[in-house]
Amino acid sequence: MARDQLQVLNALDVAKTQWYHFTAIIIAGMGFFTDAYDLFCISLVTKLLGRIYYHVPGSPKPGTLPPNVAAAVNGVAFCGTLAGQLFFGWLGDKLGRKKVYGMTLMVMVICSIASGLSFGHEPKAVMATLCFFRFWLGFGIGGDYPLSATIMSEYANKKTRGAFIAAVFAMQGFGIMAGGIFAIIISSAFEAKFPAPAYADDALGSTVSQADFVWRIILMVGAIPAAMTYYSRSKMPETARYTALVAKDAKQAASDMSRVLQVEIEAQQQKVEEISKDKSKAFSLFSKEFMKRHGLHLLGTTSTWFLLDIAFYSQNLFQKDIFSAIGWIPPAQTMNAIQEVFKIARAQTLIALCSTVPGYWFTVAFIDVIGRFAIQLMGFFFMTVFMFALAIPYNHWTHKENRIGFVVMYSLTFFFANFGPNATTFVVPAEIFPARFRSTCHGISAASGKLGAMVGAFGFLYLAQSPDKAKTDAGYPPGIGVRNSLIVLGVVNFLGILFTFLVPESKGKSLEEMSGENEENENSNSDSRTVPIV
């Protein structure tokens, strides 16, 4: 296939791993570090927000966010992310990856800071402000998904491309962990400076006025890592694949990559013009020809990401409730407000440290060895197994002597989500579509995932409630309980196994080979329109 490929693209495909690869991973990865910090830190402070703004005098339990407010605060960033993935994904194919890359970061920086500010002190004003800025924060985060994946896939060589894209995504694990660690530090510092009695001893005194600063600081610190990488992003050259195959400027592509790879590369402008004249290449997104070539692939990437995120985000968002149910986090009335933040953050950090981070880096290590398909299939399979193993004997796990076993099993589902479909659903859409649709199709796949995240985030706030009305959280109708919710998630993961069979394996192949752009070149060279080259 290499003989039909532009020299500049072949040079990228066969390039040895160099310093610029690691620079690109860090620049793109810091965006994902920030994404994860911003998306997941809200689950650390929702209980605190309930205590501060929804305290009910005389109630035996601390205040909690009303169901509609909790759903909005937890899920509004996902709505923004979905919109950002579609918009910036499309824009990345229209204007170029580099031009749009800085925009997303600035939106994230501004909205991270703004989400810690609020107009007034009334609950309605504070929550409305928080939701407004978290929507736009999500919008910026959404753009990072298709752009980071596409830029990394177009910079990488074909031998280690999977590991490089997965390494960018793996920075999410460090972002989740950083959120937990920072919340532990802040809550410890405030608890030492402003000690308070437990809620049961003094309901009003258990939430000190300074606690209002805790959640704001935790949310606002997300701006720092994003701001630190803005300059580096602005200095990255446009990817050669966009410049040559979409913008049709072979001279600029060769010049940029000569500088990056430090080798002499021929421009081949005439060859680029020949490729652009090829009528078989002129089909548009969602045209009959596109659906024939890539329709099933797009169905595979969107459906698997959708199903994965239902399970993944519902786990993350109600893990604090699971920890409460099994006794890792004591009853709310036995703690003051800041102690509760500390306990929730500690539990989330332990899960990230023991299963989330290792799972991501196992994917990085093995994705170019055993392939994307095998890792995704294995991940969905074990997630299904562990979900049912948690759900079916659920009462057994709630006994005090079995709690550690529950946490181990729960951690393993996270491990296989990350050493599995959570990483591969991000990698594959950046490899299998043509350059002129790559960012858009990745954005569509990622948006489908965020739709699943919203089902998980909104749906499981209600589903996981106890069927016994007396045991439900304030304002929630009875649900199906944690046990039945875990069974539903097990079924979702099983469907993920089935849809994985629609996704092609891209290990060791060039991007043009996977997208069919090489077939088109070769067909046009021989004036043949018959048998595509596989």
**Where does residue 159 rank: exposed (0-12), middle (13-18), buried (19+ CB within 10 A)?**
middle
Q: What is the pLDDT of residue 328?
A: 75
Q: What is the pLDDT of residue 475?
A: 72
Q: How far apart are CA 145 and CA 168, in angstroms?
A: 10
Q: Which of 46, 49, 59 is nearest to 474 (CA)?
A: 59
Angle between helix axes 337-351 and 288-326 (nearest 10 degrees) is 130
What ranges make up the beta strands (E) of 133-257?
Answer: none
State which amino acid sits at residue 108: M
Question: Which pair of structure tokens corresponds to residue 386?
Answer: 């562990």
Which domains does the chain possess? 8-272+283-517 (1.20.1250.20)
Q: What is the pLDDT of residue 93?
A: 93
Q: What is the pLDDT of residue 341?
A: 94
Q: What is the pLDDT of residue 524?
A: 41
State which amino acid sits at residue 529: R
Q: How far apart are CA 425 and CA 372, in angstroms?
A: 9
Any long-range contacts for 521-526 (C-beta under 8 Å, 24+ apart)?
A: 521/4, 521/5, 521/275, 521/278, 522/1, 522/4, 523/278, 523/280, 524/274, 524/275, 524/277, 524/278, 524/280, 524/281, 525/4
Q: How far apart are CA 218 and CA 524, in angstroms?
A: 56
46 C-beta neighbours (distance < 10 Å), count: 18
Q: What is the pLDDT of residue 326?
A: 64
Q: How far apart are CA 49 and CA 34, in angstroms?
A: 22
What distance lies between CA 309 and its chain's CA centroid?
9
Please report where in the chains the tokens 């909205």 appear, as a residue.
111
Number of H helices, E strands in the chain: 25, 0
Q: What torsion, rounded to 10 degrees, do the Cα atoms 359, 450, 323, 69 define? A: 160
Contact 367, 427 (CB under 8 A): yes
Please state the length of the chain.
Answer: 534
Q: How far apart are CA 426 and CA 31, in angstroms?
A: 14
Q: What is the pLDDT of residue 272?
A: 65
Q: What is the pLDDT of residue 2?
A: 43
Q: How far apart are CA 492 and CA 308, in angstroms?
A: 8
The CA angle 399-488-63, to the nearest 5 degrees, is 60
Q: Coil, helix or strand for 226? A: helix
Q: What is the pLDDT of residue 313?
A: 77
Please report where in the chains the tokens 């299939």 appear, as a residue.
377
Question: Which pair of structure tokens corresponds to residue 329?
Answer: 């986090």
Q: How far apart are CA 252 and CA 127, in angstroms?
A: 48
Q: How far apart are CA 194 and CA 208, in angstroms?
A: 7
Rg (CA), the chain: 24
For CA atoms 56, 60, 63, 69, give the dihedral sign: negative
Specify the DSSP class assigned to residue 16. P
pLDDT tens digit sequence for 111-125? 999 999 887 789 999
pTM check: above 0.85:
yes
Contact 186, 49 (CB under 8 A): no
Q: What is the pLDDT of residue 301?
A: 96
Q: Which of 464, 457, 380, 328 is nearest to 39 (CA)?
A: 457
Greatest alpha-carbon span in the chain: 84
Q: What is the pLDDT of residue 531?
A: 30
pLDDT tens digit sequence for 133-187? 999 999 999 999 999 999 999 888 889 999 999 999 999 889 999 999 999 999 9
Question: Which pair of structure tokens corresponds to residue 206?
Answer: 């258990």
Q: Which of 299, 491, 270 is nearest to 387 (CA)?
A: 491
Specify the DSSP class assigned to residue 419. T
Contact 506, 372 (CB under 8 A): yes
State which amino acid sits at residue 292: K
Q: Which of 404, 386, 405 is nearest to 315 (CA)?
A: 386
The CA angle 46-47-51, to the nearest 5 degrees, is 115
Q: Which residues of the chain have pLDDT under 70?
A: 1-5, 267-268, 270-282, 316-327, 461, 474, 518-534
Q: How far apart are CA 150 and CA 114, in angstroms?
A: 29
Q: How far apart are CA 245 and CA 269, in angstroms?
A: 11
Q: What is the pLDDT of residue 520?
A: 46
Q: How far apart are CA 359 and CA 132, in angstroms?
A: 33
Q: What is the pLDDT of residue 195?
A: 93
Q: Which of 237, 333, 280 is nearest to 27 (CA)?
A: 237
Q: What is the pLDDT of residue 138?
A: 94
Secondary structure string (H, E, C) spanning 30-41: HHHHHHHHHHHC
Q: Coil, helix or strand for 469? A: helix
